[in-house]
Structure 1
Amino acid sequence: MQHSATQTQEIAGAPKVSPESSRGRRGPYAKTVRTRERIIDACEALYASKGFRATTVKEIAALAGISDRGLVHHFPSRDDLLFAVLERHEKRSSDAIVHDDPYDVLRAILAQEESLSRDPHLAELRTVISAEAIDPAHPAHEHYRGVYEQWSGFLTDLFRALERRGDLAEGADPAGLAASVIALTDGLQLQRLYGIEGPTGPSILRRLVEDHVPALRTP
C-alpha cells in the first residue's frame, strides 16, 4: 500500500487492496474506472474494520495507493465515498435476486445469505455501517431507513403472493414473517461477528422459510 505513491503504510485491521486488481480496458476512461473501483475497495475494507466515522480520507488514499488530492478528484466528499460503497452493495444485493417466480426469489435470497456468511468482510461492512447509521445525523441514516422499509415491503408482498397461491403455511402472517426474516438475518449476523458459536445463520433462516413455505424444501 502506498501513500502519495511513495510512502508505504500498513493500516491495522484492513486487507490490502491491489492497484492491479482491475485490468482489461484501455484508455483514460478505463484508468478512471479502475481508480474509482480501487478507492471503493479501500473504503469497504476500512469501513468494515473501523466504521465510516473513524476512517479518514488519508487512510483511504493510502490503502488505495493514490494521493489525497487524487482521491478528492474522484470523490469530492466523505459522503460521496460512503454512498459509492452503499451503491455497490445495493447493486450486488438487487442483482442477486432478480427473478419473477416467488420461489426463485426465495432461493436467491437464501443463496445470498449463504454467500454472505462466507464473506466476513462484507458482513462486517454491512453490520458496522447500518449500526452507525441509526444516528439521525449520520449521512446514511435515511438510506438505511429506506432500505429496511423497502425490504420489509418486498418480503411482505412476496409472502402474500405465496399466500394467494395457497403455498404459505396455514396461519402464517406475511408481514410478521417478513419482519422475522429481517430480524433473523441481522441478529445472527451480529452474533457471528461477536464470535458467538452456534448454528449458522443461513441454516436457521432456511429452516424458518421452509417451515412457512413447505414446497421450498428440497426432497
Structure 2
Amino acid sequence: MTTDPARPPARRGPYAKSRRRRESIVAAAHEVFAARGYRGGSLQDVADKVGMSQTSLLHYFPAKSDLLLAVLHLRDSITADGSPRDLSETLVESVMRQASFNETVPGVIELYTVLCAESLTDNHPGLDYFTERYEALRSSYLRAFAALADEGRLRPGVDPERAAATLVALWDGIQTQWLMAPELVDMAGCLRDYLELVVLPE
C-alpha cells in the first residue's frame, strides 16, 4: 500500500485520546445543561457523567462558560439554522425539513429551549450567542419573505420583516409546546399553517 504525500498522516496517540475526551465532556454537558440549565448544572455533574474529577475537566475547559459555548457549537453541528439547503429549496420546504428533523432530536431542542430562556438572566454567557442567532434567523427569513414579495407571492398586507419575526417566535413557541406534549402538538403542521396564511401558492 502506498501513502498519499498530499494527505496528512492520521493523528493518533495523545491527540486523538484528548479529542475523544473533549467530545465526551461536551456530550455530557449537553445532557446536564438540557436537564438542569446552565445555572443548575454544575461542572461536577458533568465530571461525574464522564467519570473524571472536576480538576481534570478544567484541564480541557478552564471555565464553565467555555464548556457552554462548546455545547452550543455541538448543537449547531447537529441541527441547522433553517436556511435553505440548496437554491432549489423553497422557504416552506426548508421550514418543513427543519421542523421534521427537529422532531428526531428532542434532546437538542430541549437544550436550546432551556438555555435560550435562561440566557436572559443576569450575566449569562450565552446571551450573545442567542442574540446573534435571532438576528441571523430574522435576517435569513426576511430575505426569503422579501424575495417572495418581489415575486408577488405574499398575501396582501403581509410585511416581510414582521412575517420573519413572527415565524421565529411561532417556531420557538410551538417547539416548547411540542416538548411538553409531543403527542398533542404537530410542530411541522402548525408552521405549515402559518406559512400558508402569508404565502400564496405557486
Question: Which bracket does the TM-score occupy, shorter chain normalised?
Answer: 0.7 to 0.9
Q: Does structure 2 conserve the Cα–Cα contact (< 8 Å) formed by 1:185 and 1:205?
A: yes
Tell me, in whole angstroms, the C-alpha distance in 2 between the residues paired with 1:120 and 1:151: 20
Aligned match of 1:35: 21
Aligned match of 1:162: 148
Aligned match of 1:189: 175
Query: How has the CA–CA distance of structure 1 residues 188 and 170 changed in structure 2, closer, same or farther, with 3 Å as cutoff?
Result: same
- The answer on 1:207 being equivalent to 2:171 is no
Tell me, in whole angstroms, the C-alpha distance in 1 between the residues paired with 2:61 and 2:26: 10
Moved more, 90-99 or 118-127: 90-99
Tell me, in whole angstroms, the C-alpha distance in 2 between the residues paired with 1:91 and 1:193: 21
Tell me, in whole angstroms, the C-alpha distance in 2 between the residues paired with 1:64 and 1:112: 31
TM-score by length of 1: 0.77
Aligned match of 2:114: 128
Give the counterpart of 1:112 among 83, 98, 116: 98
Aligned match of 1:76: 62
Q: Does structure 2 conserve the Cα–Cα contact (< 8 Å) formed by 1:75 and 1:81?
A: yes
For structure 2, list consecutive stretches of 5 or more residues without a partner in the other structure: 1-9
Deviations 1:6-61 (A, max 9, x none): xxxxxxxxxxxxxxxxxx97432222221111111101101111111111111101
What is the Cα deviation at residue 78 of structure 1? 0.1
Q: Does structure 2 conserve the Cα–Cα contact (< 8 Å) formed by 1:156 and 1:178?
A: yes
What is the Cα deviation at residue 85 of structure 1? 0.8
TM-score by length of 2: 0.83
Aligned-residue CA RMSD in angstroms?
Answer: 2.4
Tell me, in whole angstroms, the C-alpha distance in 1 between the residues paired with 2:139 and 2:88: 14
Runs of 4+ in 1 over 4 A off after TM superposition: none
For structure 1, list consecutive stretches of 5 or more residues without a partner in the other structure: 1-23
Aligned match of 1:138: 124
The residue identity in structure 2 corresponding to 1:63 is K
What is the Cα deviation at residue 65 of structure 1? 2.6
What is the Cα deviation at residue 215 of structure 1? 4.0
What is the Cα deviation at residue 183 of structure 1? 1.3
Aligned match of 1:150: 136
What is the Cα deviation at residue 138 of structure 1? 0.8
Give the counterpart of 1:62 among 43, 48, 52: 48
Question: Share of identical aligned residues, percent?
Answer: 33
Query: How has the CA–CA distance of structure 1 residues 141 and 212 changed in structure 2, closer, same or farther, with 3 Å as cutoff?
Result: same
The residue identity in structure 2 corresponding to 1:64 is V
Q: Does structure 2 conserve the Cα–Cα contact (< 8 Å) formed by 1:99 and 1:105?
A: no
